[in-house]
Amino acid sequence: MAKKSKGMRNELSADAVPSDKAGKMKTLGRSTSAKGKKSPPRKKSAAQKPKPLAAAPLGPDLNDEQIRMRAYFIAERRKRFDLPGDANSDWLEAKRQLLSESGPL
């Protein structure tokens, strides 16, 4: 068996790993097949872009603070009587009640 000198090392490149077959190296990396290629995403035209939602008018003399207070009391009642629902449904119910109380526009 031949001796290795100090200057010679058994180095593997970063891409190469030993394969199952003795003496051959297998390289890792991206496939060059056409199947794996994807086209870049298309840009949306101005008509397809979603528009930011504007704050909807809440009606005469109706603001978020009033809805928040009413939703709080609805939530307290819901919890006391163990009724189904969540914060979203409380908010929507408060808004509905306040709008119906304010009368027709």
**72 lies in some domain:** yes
- Amino acid making up residue 3: K
**92 lies in some domain:** yes
**11 lies in some domain:** no
**97 lies in some domain:** yes
Per residue of the chain (105 residues), give pLDDT as tens. Answer: 555 555 555 554 455 555 555 555 555 565 555 555 666 666 666 566 565 555 555 666 789 999 999 999 999 999 999 999 999 999 999 999 999 998 776
Rounded distance between C-alpha atoms, residue 94 and residue 70, angstroms? 5
Helix 64-80 × helix 87-102 angle, to 10° = 120
**20 lies in some domain:** no
**17 lies in some domain:** no
Question: Which residues is 18 bridged to in the sheet?
Answer: 25
- Rg for the chain, CA atoms, rounded: 34
Query: Which residue range forms the structural domain that includes residue 89?
Result: 64-102
Say what the pTM is.
0.44
Rounded distance between C-alpha atoms, residue 30 and residue 28, angstroms? 7
Grouping H, G, I as helix, E, B as strand and the rest as coil, residue 26 is strand
What total of structural domains would you count in the chain? 1
Whole-number pLDDT of residue 70: 98
Element (H, E) at 98: helix 87-102
CA distances from 85 to 16, 73, 100 (A): 59, 13, 21
**4 lies in some domain:** no
